[in-house]
Amino acid sequence: MTYAAFEDRDLPATLSAKKFAPGLARQVGLVLFDGFSLLGTGMVAEVLQLANEIAAADDGGEPTYRVWLLSVRGGGIACSSSLELATIAIDAASQLHFDAVYIGGGRSAMQALEDIRLIAWLRRVVATTTEVRAIGHGQRLLEAAGIETARVVPEPPTHVASTADDTPGDDHHEALKSALMMIRRDLGVEIARKVGERALPSISTRLSALFADATRATPADKVWASARWLEENCERPISVGDAAQTFAMSERNYLRCFKLELGVTPSDYLLQVRLELTCQLLVNTDLPVDKVARRCGMRDGDRLSKIFRNRLGVSPTEYRNRHRVHADNVIGQ
DNA sequence: TTGGGGTTTTGCCCAGTATT
DNA sequence: AATACTGGGCAAAACCCCAA
């Protein structure tokens, strides 16, 4: 991958219009905020990198996609698992014309709204960029900024809006789908299919659905949409029946299709999402275990403790201590 | 593709102990 | 005293197999 953020020596002298003229590399921006989901943004970067590799293997040409990691002020941005990525400031990239921009979430995304430069930049990007996609709560950021969101991934049908700032329920699927569709458009179906198979071998067969006619709402489509719905509503007490009803499927059929498509049951999938969120809050906050549990849809600390023992083999506080020690060691090196 | 029925898993409540 | 953790028992929910 050509990670522009790691080539600061190129800036700003090389940001000429000629260099990024149509026909040359596609410019893709990933806008990051502290606490962003590495999984969501990482998947987008990964499939674009694979597209570069596969396309270059075919024709030996220059990389098709150039990815720019951006943030409001530039510099290091920490993801939800405390890894830090170097970014360039949006001001420094103001001369770039992006072919696609992905707006990431993260706990500091909403705070960033106070920065008028960000609002102005976002509005300009939405007005001039063909493909603008929100990853996770990037959608809420755009909405809060009062930005028209016609080109942004629509929210799934939901009874109650999510309230958490930092859920891990980033819409990886929609971001991934968007990136794969862009690859299909630019490089063809075969390369897009190869990228999907190499990036996500375990679910490659399911990716074939992305290349089919997206206008038909098959049970598989509904199931994938419901998975995203589960991610975004994980902090609420929801049941399989709720999900099935929301997506107009019988409960039995929903269970069957879900297992068939994702390889896990809805309850197990929901539990995994909740566990991810719980782990994040345990490591990144000082909230008591009981409060963490309530914020993650785990009812209370008792229940959370049982689930942790059962799934991870440690208690919540033990998990918190271990991962904080680990993070401190990494930083201290 | 759907639903009946049996099995397994989970949720809930309660009680008790350990630690800070 | 507050918080964290564990275990048991029962009911409900979730799941799976199989037949239509």
Q: How far is CA A118 from the centre of its chain?
A: 20
Give SS3 for A208: helix
Strand C contacted by A318 CB (< 7 A): yes
CATH number at residue A305: 1.10.10.60
The distance (Å) linking the CA of A270 with the C1' of B9 is 15
What is d(CA A156, CA A246) in angstroms, rounded to the nearest whole number? 10
Q: Could you tell me if residue A201 is inside a domain?
A: no
Strand B: list protein residues with Cβ under 7 Å: A 219, 237, 250, 252-253, 256, 267-268, 271, 299, 302-303, 307, 310
Nucleotides of C under 7 A from a protein CB: 3-7, 13-17
A45 plus A143 within the same structural domain = yes
Q: List Cβ neighbours of A60 (8 Å cut-off, separation of 6 or more).
A: none
**CATH classification of the domain holding A132:** 3.40.50.880
CA of A40 to C1' of C16 (A): 33
**What is d(CA A28, CA A203) in angstroms, rounded to the nearest whole number?**
25
Could you tell me if residue A236 is inside a domain?
no
Range of the domain at A285: 269-332
How many structural domains does chain A have? Answer: 2
Q: How far apart are CA A318 and CA A324, in angstroms?
A: 10
pLDDT in tens, A47-64: 888 888 887 776 666 778
Scanning every strand, the nucleotide with its C1' closest to A271's CA turns out to be: B10
- The per-residue pLDDT for range A179-199, each reduced to its tens digit, is 877 787 777 767 777 777 676
CB A33, CB A109: distance < 8 Å: yes
Residue corresponding to tokens 């090196």:
A333
Q: Cβ of residue A15 near strand C, that is under 7 Å?
A: no
pLDDT, tens digit, 9 for 90 and up, residues A149-165? 433 333 333 332 233 33
In single-letter form, the type of residue at position A82 comes to S
Same domain, A188 and A304: no
- pLDDT at position A197: 65
Question: Around Cβ A252, how many Cβ atoms within 10 Å?
Answer: 9
Residue % of chain A over a pLDDT of 70: 54
Weakly modelled stretches of chain A, pLDDT under 50: 1-23, 149-170, 201-216, 327, 330-333
Torsion of CA A123, A128, A130, A136, to 10 degrees: -20
